[in-house]
Amino acid sequence: MAQAISSIHRLWTSKTDALEAQALSDAAVFDTFPDPILMLDGEGNLIGSNLAAKQFLGANIVSTNIAHLFSTNIFISSIEKVLKGSSDSERVVFHTPEHGNRQLFAHITKLPHQTKNRAVAVISLYDVSRAISLEKMQSDFVANASHELRTPLSVISGFIETLQTTARDDADARDAFLGIMKEQSEYMATLIEDLLSLSRLEMGQDKELKDKVDLHEVMDDIMQALKIKAFQHSVNVKINQLNRIPKIVGDNQQIHQILQNLLDNAIKYAPENSEVNIEIKAVPEIPAKPGQNVALGRAVSIAFNNKGQKINKEDLARLTEKFYRMQIHKDMKIKGTGLGLAIAKQIVLHHRGNLTVSSTAYRGNTFTVYLPVKQ
Ligand SMILES: Nc1ncnc2c1ncn2[C@@H]1O[C@H](COP(=O)(O)OP(=O)(O)OP(=O)(O)O)[C@@H](O)[C@H]1O
Ligand SMILES: [Mg+2]
């Protein structure tokens, strides 16, 4: 009898150990899933969750009713449908204002049979905020690009029609219209060039950075290129070099482009008869906000300052968005596509440098690029 009991006990112990090991390994597997998984009983109380769910919703969520964790009606009513048995599974995309206003995709499934600890449904959550905002950015981009191209195109075709009809024999009108058409087609060419340059930058982020770039040469080149523009705007450009500038490792053509875009802006948005000041200096490191991926070690900073109205906070936050232009400059009919700073930002990211903007009523606007000496 004693032998029989002891062998039954051994059998049970080994079975319990095996089951415990199985349960632990099941839980470990669930914990490796990067997305939250929740198990509910028939009343909607949480009876199990994986590590990602605890990180997302907090550690003490067990036994909490799902309606206390989420308030979005569409999500809660989909869960009710599954719990009441009127649906076997539901899929829903919803906002969670209580969890950082994320957009989540939820898959709610009824379990085929009630498990011992009463789990009735399993919910898996997937954060789709980033995918949705990327999709929106892409469609905004296409909408903006086609709008920007269509405007000059309609001007050109309007003038062609006028030249073919009412202004056919009017030599003065012909000269004036051809001038406008030339200007508009040049604008289209710049726009297409900028768009191509942006998409090349976005696609080819892995382009090797291997040129030894002499910033004195780059500054000389862009000063030469923009001399006439500065003269036409009656703007005086001054360069101030504070210490010895080392050569930097990067892409020569891209660095030309970023500095030319910033000087072009400084001249274009400076009031007439004012001064643009460029300050260039070697600095021990690149200033960065937490989480920003900048190269460590020595760098060169190039700051472009122009006078002008203080830029407000909302505008400041959006200046490097594609096609974003301040209303005041659109009203002043200052030409631009709104792509210059978006291109500059991409190049800076690629070089693991930084671009900062400061604006005060007294000092005006300063756009500073930091480029690391070594990659
Ligand atoms: N130095 C500056 N001073 C004041 N505002 C500026 C300055 N640089 C840029 N901005 C503002 O930021 C907006 C975006 O600049 P960005 O260079 O991207 O485009 P843009 O100059 O309008 O056109 P593009 O450079 O493509 O010809 C400008 O339209 C302008 O409103
Ligand atoms: Mg510009």
**Position 115 confidence tier, pLDDT thresholds 50, 70, 90:** low
Q: Tell me how far apart the alpha carbons of residues 194 and 347 are, in angstroms, rounded to a whole number.
A: 13
In the predicted structure, residue 5 carries a pLDDT above the cut 80: no
Q: What is the pLDDT of residue 113?
A: 73
Mean residue pLDDT of the chain comes to: 91
What pLDDT is attached to residue 91? 97
What pLDDT does residue 159 have?
94
pLDDT in tens, 199-235: 888 776 667 898 999 999 999 999 999 999 999 999 9
Q: Given pLDDT bands bounded at 50, 70 and 90, which one contains residue 130?
A: confident
The residues lining ligand 1, judged by C-beta closer than 6 Å to any ligand atom, are: 194, 261, 265-266, 269, 306, 308, 319, 324-326, 329, 336-342, 365, 367
- Rounded to whole angstroms, the Cα distance separating 358 from 353 reads 17
CA–CA dist 299, 309 (Å, integer): 30
pLDDT, residue 114, reads 64
Shared domain for 115 and 229, answered yes or no, is: no
Closest CA to 107 of 147, 78, 84, 141: 78
Residue 195 maps to which CATH number?
A: 1.10.287.130
Structure tokens of 72? 């979005």
Strand order in the sheet with 46-49: 46-49, 37-40, 121-127, 102-110, 89-96
Distance (angstroms) between ligand 1 centre and the Cα of 347 equals 16
Task: Tell me if 26 is assigned to some domain.
Answer: no
| CA 190 – CA 263 distance, rounded (Å) | 17
- The two beta strands, 37-40 and 299-306, are unpaired
The two structure tokens encoding residue 188? 């289209």
pLDDT tens-digit series, residues 148-185: 899 899 999 999 999 999 988 999 999 999 999 999 99
pLDDT at 19 over 80: no
Burial of 327-357, coded b for 16+ CB within 10 Å and e otherwise, reads eebeeeeeebbbbbbbbbbbbbbbbbbbbbe
Question: pLDDT tens-digit profile of 37-65?
Answer: 999 999 999 999 999 999 999 888 888 99
Residue 30 near residue 49 (C-beta atoms within 8 A):
no
Residue 268 CA neighbour count, 13 Å, CB half: 18
**Which ligand is closest to the CA of 341, given by its number?**
1
Q: Count the residues in the chain.
A: 375
Say if 86 falls within a structural domain. yes
The domain spanning residue 288 has which CATH number?
A: 3.30.565.10
Is position 10 within any domain? Answer: no
CA 309 to CA 48: how far, in whole Å?
57
| pLDDT tier for residue 26 given thresholds of 50, 70 and 90 | confident
* Cα 299 to ligand 1 centroid, rounded to whole Å: 25
pLDDT band at 110 (very low <50, low <70, confident <90, very high): very high
The whole-number pLDDT of residue 30 equals 86
In a domain, 279, yes or no: yes
The domain of 162 spans: 131-203
Which of the listed residues 111, 127, 143 is the one where a domain comes to its end? 127
Residue 199's pLDDT is 84
Alpha-carbon Rg of the chain, whole angstroms? 31
69/66 Cα distance (integer angstroms):
5
CB 269 within 8 A of CB 334: yes
Mutate to test the pocket of ligand 1, among 259, 313, 315, 341 (most ligand atoms within 8 A of CB): 341
